[in-house]
Amino acid sequence: MAFQDFDKIQERVNANRKRKIKKRIIVGSVSLLVVIAAMVGGAFAYVAYEKKHEQQVKNNNKNDDSNLDTPKKSQSQSQSQTLAPTTPTPEDHVSAAQSVIPGPADKIIETLCSSTLYKITCEEALKNRTAKGFALESPTTLFTSAIEAVNENLDRVLEKVLSLQSENQDDKDAIAQCKLLVEDAKEETVASLNKFNGTEITDFAKIVPDLDSWLSAVMSYQETCLDGFKEGTLKAEVQKSVNSSQILTSNSLAMIKSFDANLSPVANVASLASRLLLDEIPSWVSNDDRRMLKAVDVKSLNPNTTVAKDGSGNFTTINDALRAMPEKYEGRYIIYVKQGVYDESVIVDKKKANLTMVGDGSQKTIVTGNKSHANTIRTFLTATFVAQGEGFMAQSMGFRNTAGPEGHQAVAIRVQSDKSIFLNCRFEGHQDTLHAYTHRQYYRSCVILGTVDFIFGDAAAVFQNCNIFIRKGLPGQMNTITAQGRVDKFQTTGFVVHKCKIAADEDLKPVKEEHKSYLGRPWKKYSRTVVMESKIENVIDPAGWLRWQETDFAIDTLYYAEYMNKGPGGETASRVKWPGFKVISKEEALNYTVGPFLQGDWINATGSPVKFGLYDD
């Protein structure tokens, strides 16, 4: 199925159905040989299945599609270099699972691991913990155990990174960056473990969206760590450790998806979306935040503090306002940034959760910078603005990197804030303008400008009602709007461009024949991008999509899809013939609307800035 890596849409139609769902556990059919564990007075009911070890190894080899590719390079670099996989195949990690006396735990472990890419590694990890006295009190304890294994492995990765020595400054920078990213990964695994505490099996579906988001981010952090090293001895040493933790993370994501799918009722996507044609707001947006998003006069929001370059506010710089923000603040903290160009590097760190920045307009309130890879700064660190704190929201703001096409990778904003929202914002740059790095992100009525890979990263991001303008780059340079970086098939990440306008910027229009432009190219093996119900002007090459580094890399494992696009650039007759590219149906497209794709529960609310379903309904 085209959407086998997505969680089924879960909707409780009414309160009665909710109560019924909480009281039952759906037992999988014997024909599918799926064991579903249920808590009944502390006991388990399950359907067992038997599989030979040799067949498991055979299946692993057959189904392996986990290799990762090299760091994203500038287009000039990518045209002359080829890829080298960085993650070993499953058979490289196959070893005989420890023999224990067969019992209920073993059967449940085998079944849960059957959905993973690395079955034997999964079984070995869980059975070893069982053999060491691990108490199987509930099926959810198996997931706790799996994530604990990830966390323990990350400790070993961190230990390895801290032990590395080099006199080369680039290596030192890579080590420092990797250390921070592994620490980020550990934070998210701990958050995932804490999410399980006190969670009943009947409430498992409620925590799945967070688990999917956080563990997908753990995969991304580890991949970015590897990307920071040049090919050589240091990278090889780190790679050995990171590969193991990535495999364990992949297994955890696969197990959660499989278990949740069997516990949850299967909803009819088409009928559900057709009933909810009003604009809606995600459930993780509070009532106060809803009012903020709908507000027209930003001055009526009663901000906590005001930034103004002319001295008419509480602070003259955004960074000063952030430093003054209380470490622990109940509710949403609002910073109003008055009109002006703020030339400063801004980081909204993880401690600053539920922060809103509101400007006077995306071309009036602008945060600007000019850091670039051409100036020997790592792409990850070139961002003018970084949003990390959970629940970050920005309205009527501009984010800019002025390094120009000569700067190559030069990021205007890096977003790794979970449940982040950008409304009426503007993102200006050339290569790598918007780094939609990790977690769940929503962009509404924004303007995005760039040349090469100017929307890139591994977030679950929806761009709705946005204007995407392709700019003129270096002589002979081709343009690609997206470079999505999903590294594992069980990650719930990808880019959705919905009801947007894609066009040439004014500087490109006279010379667009000299600069071929494409909707995207696959940065990583499971790159996923969907463009639907958008107007694509005569700027996109008829092929639509571009190969990565002129190779066949990822063309059979990526997921690129289009649905009901309009305009001369939306014609699909001459699109690439890759196995991974699809012109999808309405039923398939519904899976990529805001609700199911961002994996959130949604409520009815009129007049909101988010469209729940498709526009052609």
Locate all alpha helices (DSSP H) within 344-428, ordered by sequence: none
Q: Which amino acid is at 89?
A: T
Q: Which amino acid is at 613?
A: G
Burial of residue 556, with CB atoms counted within 10 A of its CB: 0-12 exposed, 13-18 middle, 19 or more buried: exposed
d(CA 471, CA 442): 23
51 to each of 33, 63, 105, 110, 507, how far by Cα in Å? 10, 16, 15, 9, 62
d(CA 68, CA 75): 19
Nearby residues of 31 by Cβ (< 8 Å), 6 or more positions away: none
CA 454 centroid distance within chain: 16
Quick one: tokens of 549? 């580094």
d(CA 406, CA 410): 10
CB atoms within 10 A of CB 381: 14
d(CA 457, CA 438): 7
Nearby residues of 586 by Cβ (< 8 Å), 6 or more positions away: 270, 563, 564, 614, 616
DSSP 542: T
Quick one: tokens of 525? 């093996």
Query: Which of 470, 578, 465, 458 lies closest to 518 in space, CA to CA?
Result: 470
Q: Which of 418, 453, 458, 488 is catalytic?
A: 453
Query: Which of 467, 466, 427 lies closest to 450 in space, CA to CA?
Result: 427
458 included as an active-site residue: no
Nearby residues of 266 by Cβ (< 8 Å), 6 or more positions away: 8
d(CA 330, CA 453): 38
Quick one: tokens of 289? 């935040």
**Sign of the Cα pseudo-torsion (257, 263, 268, 269, in order):** negative
3-state SS, one letter per residue, for 306-365: EECCCCCCCECCHHHHHHCCCCCCCCCEEEEECCEEEECCEEECCCCCCEEEEECCCCCE
Burial of residue 610, with CB atoms counted within 10 A of its CB: 0-12 exposed, 13-18 middle, 19 or more buried: buried
Quick one: tokens of 376? 């020997």
**Residues with catalytic roles:** 453
